[in-house]
Structure 1
């Protein structure tokens, strides 16, 4: 029996935002920073130091490794609150603005599902901390979001087991993506233009010399 390929929790957010972005990161180890990703990295450096702290009624674990054997997920939670009443609450830190129902919700819900397996509990809600407005945003971990996690996990695993990158979206998301130059969405979305460009760049030397 072959072991199921593990899906990183962070890949769920990347894939939900743009499948091609996830493919470039997972299959080609490609990544590019911009101002927003640098801010995110700096924020995560502060919260990704393993440790814990105790406040009245709650213990906070930071950089907690989690996994889910059945779904084949693994990753690290930025912070997890363990309340005296038994509630387990994941908190995911993001440098940018929070988008309700966006890709970050998928990553948080996946963390909750992993934590449920680890602590044998049920998690109804987690939080996204937005560095843009410096506050928490509650995310209900409902059945719809749970099904979304399962579906995206399967799609990401299909990318990991395949050899073809997902196609470019070539829409408004591309303008905000730090990987725009690596992806070349406008060029690749126009397959005829892409084929012509390949033909122009990789013509045989003899043929190219005739243009001089």
Structure 2
């Protein structure tokens, strides 16, 4: 079962968000996602450019048959010394160790398989920061990629929507209205209300 690179970032951010997108085909835009769409319009047109000693590929389809991954890289730089660098573009600020790291590391792993060449680094360009952030695609990050890939595959196979968590991530999620985390989270108040909803009280003596 193929797993998309974009779903890795969604799952790493919130399993329920990933489930809503993959299982229910639900997605809602907000200001942040619209900014992201506009940003990607600059790099999502397939093609190649050459500047000095660097060849830049845009919207490059990538895959890894062994790991069952598939997707598209925003930008891939191929340097004269053989170095291959995937660059993922994000509209928001970069968060070290965040979900975007998983996505771009998976891109690096796909490129390694396709080019049969090590890809030890990847980069995330943050439009909010107006700079590029380099990260090492090390053993720990590769393990995280494979763990999240397995979790997404389990989600797809089970067809069960993950539970709502209702934490600080919800404030930054465009899908919070449809997700209803405050209502559906497994809080004591919700559990009591759910129990009361389906409780059948014994009728008083003499009543039918």
Normalised to the residue count of structure 2, the TM-score between the two structures is 0.91
SS of the equivalent of 2:81 reads: coil
- The CA deviation at 1:169 is 1.6
Measure the CA separation in 1 of the matches of 2:197 and 2:44: 43
Q: Which residue of 1 aligns with 2:81?
A: 85
Uncovered stretches (5+) of structure 2, i.e. residues with no partner:
199-208
Once the two structures are overlaid, the 10-residue window that deviates more, 52-61 or 186-195, is: 186-195
Structure 2 Cα separation of the partners of residues 77 and 135 of structure 1: 18
Match in the other structure for 2:110: 114
Deviation at 1:18, TM superposition (A): 0.3
Query: Superposition RMSD on alpha carbons, in Å?
Result: 1.5
Q: How does 1:61-100 map to 2 (within 5 A)?
A: 61-100=57-96
Could you tell me how far 1:82 is from its partner in structure 2? 0.5
Task: Please say if 1:195 is aligned against 2:194.
Answer: yes
Task: Name the residue aligned to 1:202.
Answer: none
Q: Is it true that 1:161 corresponds to 2:160 in the alignment? A: no
- 1:186 to partner: Cα distance: 1.0
Aligned with residue 180 of structure 1, among 151, 154, 176? 176
**Distance 1:132-1:167 versus aligned 2 partners, 3 A rule:** same
- Tell me the distance in 1 between the aligned counterparts of 2:76 and 2:160: 36
* Separation in 2, partners of 1:152, 1:92: 18
Query: For residues 158 and 59 of structure 2, what CA distance do their matches in structure 1 show?
Result: 31
Which position in structure 2 is the counterpart of 1:30?
Answer: 26
Deviations 1:117-136 (A, max 9, x none): 01101111111000101110
Q: Which runs of 4+ in 1 moved over 4 A?
A: 196-199
- CA 194–20 in structure 1, closer or farther in 2 if over 3 Å, else same: farther
**Matched-pair contact (CA < 8 Å) for 1:62–1:78:** yes
Residue 206 of structure 2: aligned partner: none
2:7 paired with 1:11: yes
1:154–1:182 Cα change, 3 Å = same
